Amino acid sequence: MLQQHTILGHVTLIEHISDNELRITNGGYDSDEADIIDILPPYPSKVPSKITTRDEFLKLYTGPETLKLQTLPHEIPKPIRTPRYTVEKEKEIEKQVNDMLNSDMIEPSRTPYLSRINLVKKKNNEWRFVVDFRAINKIIQP
């Protein structure tokens, strides 16, 4: 539960100037003065509190349907081996991957390439699932 007067963030206005230029400001708004409802972009009025299916997610998502990565010229992704994990971490990775598969967050793939997974302990002793995309980011065109 949040305490009264807790600041969660700051209002930032992004104004489209041209295809190559955006203006980012706080618009001189003080959190006490700003009428946030007038500033925010329109949002779907009927959004479920918990998105449970892929179809519900796709209704909210307006980006590209597939992701096509262009690699830099003469750059070939190098297969890397799966690192060794402790038994505890292997079980946690399997559990979290199965949870993501079951909720359609990810889908199975048969690619010879992978990005390394790291598990980081959170303050509440649960594991945070982190994917290291640095290797792929080095070889794709922006």
pLDDT in tens, 56-111: 555 555 555 566 667 777 777 677 777 888 999 999 999 999 999 998 888 887 77
pLDDT at 30 over 80: no
pLDDT at 19 over 80: no
For 23, phi then psi, to 5°, come to -110, 125
Pick the range with the lowest mean pLDDT from 21-25, 43-47, 91-95, 118-122. Answer: 43-47
Delimit the domains of the chain by residue range: 13-60, 87-139
Question: What letter does residue 28 receive in the DSSP assignment?
Answer: T
Q: What is the mean pLDDT of the chain?
A: 73
**Cβ atoms < 10 Å from Cβ of 57:** 13
Decide: pTM greater than 0.75: no
- pLDDT for 37 equals 57
For 25, phi then psi, to 5°, come to -145, 165
What is the H or E stretch that residue 18 is in?
strand 13-18
Q: What is the mean pLDDT of residues 113-122?
A: 87
Tokens of 27: 């618009």
**DSSP bridge partners of 131:** 117
Q: What is the mean pLDDT of residues 119-131?
A: 92
